[in-house]
Amino acid sequence: MHLSHAPDAPSADPIGFDDFLKVDIRIGTILNAELYPEARNPAYKLLIDFGPGIGRRKSSAQITENYGVDDLPGRQVAAVVNFPPRQIGKFLSEVLIVGFADGNGAVRLFAPDKPVPDGARLF
C-alpha cells in the first residue's frame, strides 16, 4: 500500500480503534541536532528526550528544507516510539518523527500548540 502525502489524496483504508492504539506516538524534546552528510537525502541526526518512561532516542529526519540545525534543540516533536529501529546508512534511527507535507512537499513537524510533559502519549 502506498500512502500519498498530497492534500487531495483519499483517506487510507479504515482500521479498527485497537489498531490505532498499537501506534505509540509520544512527545519529546530535541536535545541535539546535527547534519547527517552521509544520508542519501539531506537529513539531520537528532537526539530526543521522551521523559523517564522512554528515555532518550535517536532519529534521522529529512526536515532540512524547513528547519535549520540550530532551530531544533528545545523544540518538542511527536514521534512513533514503538517501531523497530531502522538502519539509515550508518545511523540507527530509533523513532519516527511525524509531520505533514507543506505546499512544496517538504516536512513540517507536528507538535502540540503549548508545551506538554515529555513522554505524553497521543490519544
| 19 SS3 class | helix
Closest alpha carbon to 50 in 78, 92, 87, 91: 78
Identify whether 1 is part of a domain.
Answer: no
Per-residue confidence (pLDDT) for residue 2, from 0 to 100:
47
Express each pLDDT in 65-101 by its tens digit: 999 999 999 999 999 999 999 999 899 999 999 999 9
Say which CATH number the domain at 49 has: 2.40.50.140
- With respect to residue 2, please indicate whether it lies within any of the assigned structural domains: no
Q: How many domains does the chain have?
A: 1
Closest CA to 30 of 2, 70, 84: 70
Q: Which domain holds residue 53?
A: 17-109
Q: What is the pLDDT of residue 98?
A: 96
pLDDT at 81: 98
Instruction: With beta carbons less than 8 A apart as the criterion, state whether 89 and 38 touch.
Output: yes
User: What is the rounded (10 degree) CA torsion for 29, 37, 41, 86?
Assistant: -60
